[in-house]
Amino acid sequence: MEMLSILRADGEYDPKLEPDLSDEDLVKMYRHLILVRKFNERGMALQRQGRIGFFIDSTGQEACQIGAAYALNSNDWVYPTYRDVGVCFLRGVPMKVIFDQLYANAQDYMKGRQLGVHWGYKEKNIVTIGSPIATQLVHAVGTAYAVKYKNHRVVTLTFFGDGATSQGEFHTALNFAGVFKLPIVFFCENNQYAISLPVRRQTASENIAMKAWSYGFEGTQVDGNDILAVYKAAKDTIDKARSGGGPTLIEGVTYRMGGHSTADDPSKYRNQSEVEMWKKRDPILRFRLYLMKKGLLSEQEDRKMQQEMENEVNETAKEAEKVAPPALSTMFSDVYEEMPWHLKEELDDLMKEGT
């Protein structure tokens, strides 16, 4: 299987393969890549400073998130993972919503009840992230089945990691999607690790994309650090799904530059030389060189954009930090329509004891 690649690490590219994107689109993509990187930097710092409890960084995987989501229509459905915040930003989720969730504050519309980094946004058809690995795949298939049944020309895109491909849900979802020829794209962000387990011990298959063949549909491998290749693969397969051509599995070959989460130390299971090698394949660096070659970005514009994105992230984080935690009494809400007597008693006791 040949891996689709358009943009090389040095910013050189094959003009014959360039996707049909306007200059505005290309610059917008770049802005979002930068935004995700700045957001990740801030998120990690906030957790290390003890301001938020938990964070999951997706540095290195920005091109997968932005490239794939860029090919969607606004009424399509997305089932992302905790490493796909860029999908939220690109689809117009306000950044404050994301930070409120990280701070689990009173304005968090999940009322601080979800694990940090597990957001969702109904208004933009982004389904809340589930922690049990791969469960979103079967949910996404359900959505794809429903839209096909209703004859809507809507596509479902679901993201997952290489580790998710060892779960039963992966088989269930791909099998069902193949049998019913559903309008769905499965996007595996193969970042080489599932926490400490390297992908070579995750599967004996030569690659992940080829697993699609046994379910009766196409699998395709792309350089996940090449946003043009990711976009092209996503656009072609999303269009195919929309026009009744059925599902596709895309494997984006990428790398998780940081730890699995803020509760992980990757130096325990991988060499720094490997990290250094992947640094040279940075998805943002090569896209920047490409934009500069095309005359769409100057050093000065780049610096300005980086500063703007950093300011937006920092200011939004500060705003969310000012919001108080949810009232203690909210622990008792939403469970019953009418609160039963024993919960009322517990609530009264709690209020008497104070906070």
Ligand X SMILES: Cc1ncc(C[n+]2csc(CCOP(=O)(O)OP(=O)(O)O)c2C)c(N)n1
# binding residues, ligand X (CB under 6 A):
16
Asked whether position 161 contacts ligand X by CB under 6 A, the answer is yes
CB 203 within 8 A of CB 166: yes
What six digits make up the tokens of 49?
A: 């400073």
Task: Please report, as residue ranges, which positions from 311 to 330 form the binding site for ligand X (by CB under 6 A).
Answer: none
Task: Choose the stretch contacting ligand X; rule: CB under 6 A; options: 41-49, 187-195, 320-328, 346-354.
Answer: 187-195
- Which are the contacts of 201, defined by CB distance < 8 A and separation ≥ 6? none
Q: Is residue 256 among the annotated active site residues? A: yes
Burial of 243 (0-12, 13-18, 19+ CB in 10 A): exposed
Exactly one of 83, 256, 281, 288 is catalytic; name it. Answer: 256
Indicate the DSSP class of residue 354: -
With CB under 6 A as the contact rule, the residue among 195, 323, 331, 347 that binds ligand X is 195
Instruction: Look up 242 and say whether it is catalytic.
Output: no
Is 269 assigned a catalytic role? yes
Among positions 119-138, residues that touch ligand X (CB under 6 A) are 131-133
C-alpha 155/C-alpha 184 separation (Å) is 6
Quick check: 294 and 21 in contact, CB under 8 A? no
Exactly one of 57, 162, 236, 282 binds ligand X (CB under 6 A); which one? 162
Cβ-based nearer residue to ligand X, 195 or 305 = 195
CB of 258 to ligand X, least distance (A): 11
The answer to whether 69 contacts ligand X (rule: CB under 6 A) is no
Query: Is the CB of residue 241 less than 8 Å from the CB of residue 183?
Result: yes
User: Which residue is catalytic, options 48, 51, 152, 269?
Assistant: 269
Sheet holding 218-223, edge to edge: 77-79, 156-161, 184-190, 248-253, 218-223
Q: What angle do CA 66, 305, 71 make, to 5 degrees?
A: 20
224 is a contact residue toward ligand X (CB under 6 A): no
The stretch among 94-102, 156-164, 301-309, 338-346 that binds ligand X (CB under 6 A) is 156-164
Residue of 32, 37, 91, 260 marked catalytic: 260
Least separation, in Å, of the C-beta of 282 and ligand X? Answer: 18
Residue 304 vs residues 89, 285, 311: alpha-carbon distances, Å: 19, 16, 11
Residue window 274-313: x/- pattern of binding to ligand X, with contact defined by CB under 6 A: ----------------------------------------
164 binds ligand X (CB under 6 A): yes
Tokens of 135: 């469960």
CA–CA separation, 77 and 92 (whole Å): 14
Closest separation between CB of residue 257 and ligand X, Å? 12
H/E stretch holding 194 reads strand 193-194
**Residue 37 or 260 with smaller CB distance to ligand X:** 260
Contacts for 123 with CB less than 8 Å, ≥ 6 apart: none
The minimum distance between CB 201 and ligand X, in angstroms, equals 12
- C-beta closer to ligand X: residue 166 or 314: 166
Binding site for ligand X (CB under 6 A): 81, 83, 131-133, 160-164, 191, 193-195, 256, 260
Which residues participate in catalysis according to the annotation?
256, 260, 269
